[in-house]
Structure formats: structure tokens, C-alpha cells
Amino acid sequence: MSGYYGECTDRPGGMDTGRTSGDCVEVRVTISGQSGVAEAVREAKRTAAKAGFGRSGKMRVATVVSELANNIRFYAGEGRIIIRTITGPSGEWIEIVAEDEGPGIEDVEKAMHDGFSMGGGLGVGLPAVKRMSDDFLIESTQGRGTRVTARIRA
């Protein structure tokens, strides 16, 4: 099993959860094929259930993880999904971080428009992830990789 549970260790810039030490638990899943995608989706559902998400919230978290994990698989080949449960003054959150060291996104602004695809797909994945998220941040550098952070409130 490629996932592991532990304390949160890294925090993406620009996204303040208001968390204090000790109220954040995470699971990391390596994505290098379809089995990694499936494991990440299972972990997303399990984590959302533990955080008290209802049925639609669990599906929202699982869909975001599926979209991001498949993007890693198709465009970078491998990377990781980090799923965090965060308890802060504003309540329970699930934070999903998808990161890879792939080719990066040439034009992030274009990639965030429905219908734009660099790989022949429908071009709805990243825009849909943004719409399903309460907070969304994407960082990408050509030749160095991409990091997407999506936060969903319980």
C-alpha cells in the first residue's frame, strides 16, 4: 500500500486554514498507474467519511481526487495525492494536494477554461475541480511540474 497516515508537514502558500498544531491528519498516495488512482479515491472517501462529510460531500471529495489523480497519471506519469483533514476555527475541511514533477502546464489560464485540453480530452477536469472546491490554487512551472491544492468544507 502506497498511502500512509501522519501529521501534516507541508502547507501550500496562500491558503490559510487557521489551523493550530495537532489538528491536521493526512494520507499520501503515490500515483503511478490506475491502481494508484483507485487507492487515492478510496482514501478520499474514507477520509471524508471520518471528517463527517455527508453523501454528496464525500462524492465531491472523491471526484476532485479522481480528476487530479488522473491528470497526474495522464500528463506526468507519476506523482502524489495528499489528502488532509483539517479542523480549524472555520470547521472541518478536506484539503487535497496533487503534485508531480511532470512537464508542467504551458498556459494555466487557458487550462482553467472549459474545453481546453493539452492531451485530447474534453478539457473539463481542472475547471470542474475549481468549481467543486471552496478554495483552489494551481502552481505550475514548465519542465518542473504542477501542484494543485483544493479545499472543501464539510
- The number of CA neighbours under 13 Å toward the Cβ of 86 is 26
Span 30-43, pLDDT tens digits: 999 999 999 999 99
pLDDT at 117: 60
pLDDT score at 129: 96
pLDDT over 90 percentage in the chain: 64
What is the spatial distance between Cα 24 and Cα 9, in angstroms, rounded to a whole number? 9
Say if residues 104 and 142 touch (Cβ distance below 8 Å).
Answer: yes
In a domain, 3, yes or no: no
The pLDDT of residue 115 is 61
What's residue 44's pLDDT? Answer: 97
Average pLDDT over residues 69-75: 94
In a domain, 15, yes or no: no
| C-alpha cell belonging to residue 85 | 483533514
2 in any annotated domain? no
- Residue 127 domain-assigned (yes or no): yes
- C-alpha distances in angstroms, 100 versus 11, 45, 140? 16, 22, 10
Provide the pLDDT for residue 93.
Answer: 92
pLDDT for residue 135: 95
CA distances from 14 to 45, 118, 146 (A): 26, 27, 16
Is the separation of the CB atoms in 77 and 32 below 8 Å? yes
107 within some domain: yes
Q: Yes or no: say if 148 and 126 are a contact pair by the CB < 8 Å rule.
A: yes
Range of the structural domain that residue 96 is part of = 23-153
What is the pLDDT, as a whole number, of residue 48? 96
What would the pLDDT profile of 81-119 be if each residue is shown by its tens digit?
999 999 878 788 999 999 999 999 988 888 887 666 665
7 located within any domain: no
pLDDT the model gives residue 94: 96
pLDDT at 153: 94
Q: What is the Cα–Cα distance from 120 to 116, expressed in whole angstroms?
A: 9
Q: How many domains does the chain have?
A: 1
Q: Residue 1, SS3?
A: coil
Q: Are 45 and 58 in contact (CB under 8 A)?
A: yes
Asked if residue 94 belongs to a domain, the reply is yes
| pLDDT for position 3 | 42
Residue 131 lies in a domain: yes
Rounded to whole angstroms, the Cα distance separating 143 from 48 reads: 33
CATH code at position 138: 3.30.565.10
> Is the confidence at residue 8, as pLDDT, over 80?
no
